[in-house]
Amino acid sequence: MLKNYLSLVKFSHTIFAMPFALIGFFLAVNSVEFSFNSAGWKLLILVILCMIFARNAAMGFNRYIDRAIDKKNPRTAVREIPAGIIKGKSALLFVLINSALFVATTFFINSLVFYLSPIALAVVLGYSLTKRFTWLCHFVLGIGLALAPIGAYLSVTGEFAWPPLLFSFAVLFWTAGFDIIYALQDEEFDKTEQLKSVPVLLGKNKSLILSAILHLFTATFIVFAGFSQPENFSYLYWIGVILFIALLIYQHLIVKPNDLSRVNLAFFTTNGVASLLFSIFTISGFYLF
């Protein structure tokens, strides 16, 4: 049963946003007086739980709201709800439980995060509706994941600051870019169902060009973040930057307009590894040098 729900929300894909949430958390820790006593570890655990609950709710809602569409699409017909493995009502209950747990968890972090939690929840849940009326859906997904660094930062400091926003903008453009690549698989199906996406709007060639431009913005923001706070980032950060950008370039080299066979490699593996490596080198730099 648990395995089915983990598959429903693609729990392993938490690796996309979680590393950037941890970067936001440790960037805040490095900026204020903070000690990893019992309260400090408790806060870290609460932030991680918030990420898990929010993503579970978002993905569960996406699968629930798209259940009829997924059943028509040969690529997605094997998903848990259209395949009959999980009932729609059960998936909706899963969404409600995780949404409630997300809001409840923020209550134990600080008042600002708690008050902002419904807005964050509205963004991550609302993404699933956007492809019905706008090709900007990829950017809404990007905004949802971009909340991770700034949300984690706010959990520690309780106040806004510009350094985590640079990483949030990087995540926004990074996510929108790789989601456009992923959407290439469903271009014809989306046209038939009158769904909106960048590939439907622009076609494969121009979509890949736009994705590359968005990833150029991503690279610009993470480079600028390093230069804007040289006191916070050691040479380990720059190793992480190089690896991250190299993997961005790699995914554009392996996906061609006439060959989408390696889209999953570009979308899942490459971006997951890029996010993980970047966070490891960035966070290590706070403590090793």
pLDDT given for residue 113 in this prediction: 97
Angstrom CA distances, 106 to 94, 102, 118, 151, stand at 19, 6, 10, 10
pLDDT at 11 over 80: no
DSSP state of 256: B
Mean pLDDT of the chain: 92
Q: How far apart are CA 226 and CA 229, in angstroms?
A: 6
**Helix (H, G, I), strand (E, B), or coil: what is residue 259?**
strand
Tens-place pLDDT, residues 178-200: 999 999 999 999 999 999 999 99
Q: How far apart are CA 289 and CA 227, in angstroms?
A: 17
Global confidence as pTM = 0.94
**How remote is the C-alpha of 88 from its chain's centroid?**
24
- Relative orientation angle of helices 18-29 and 137-157, to the nearest 10 degrees: 30
Domains of the chain by start residue, with CATH: 2-288 (1.10.357.140)
Q: How many CB atoms lie within 10 A of CB 64?
A: 20
Tens-place pLDDT, residues 249-285: 999 999 998 888 888 877 778 898 999 999 999 999 9
Decide: 19 and 279 in contact? Cβ < 8 Å. yes
Q: How far apart are CA 135 and CA 61, in angstroms?
A: 19
Average of pLDDT values for 37-61? 93
Tens-place pLDDT, residues 108-129: 999 999 999 999 999 999 999 9
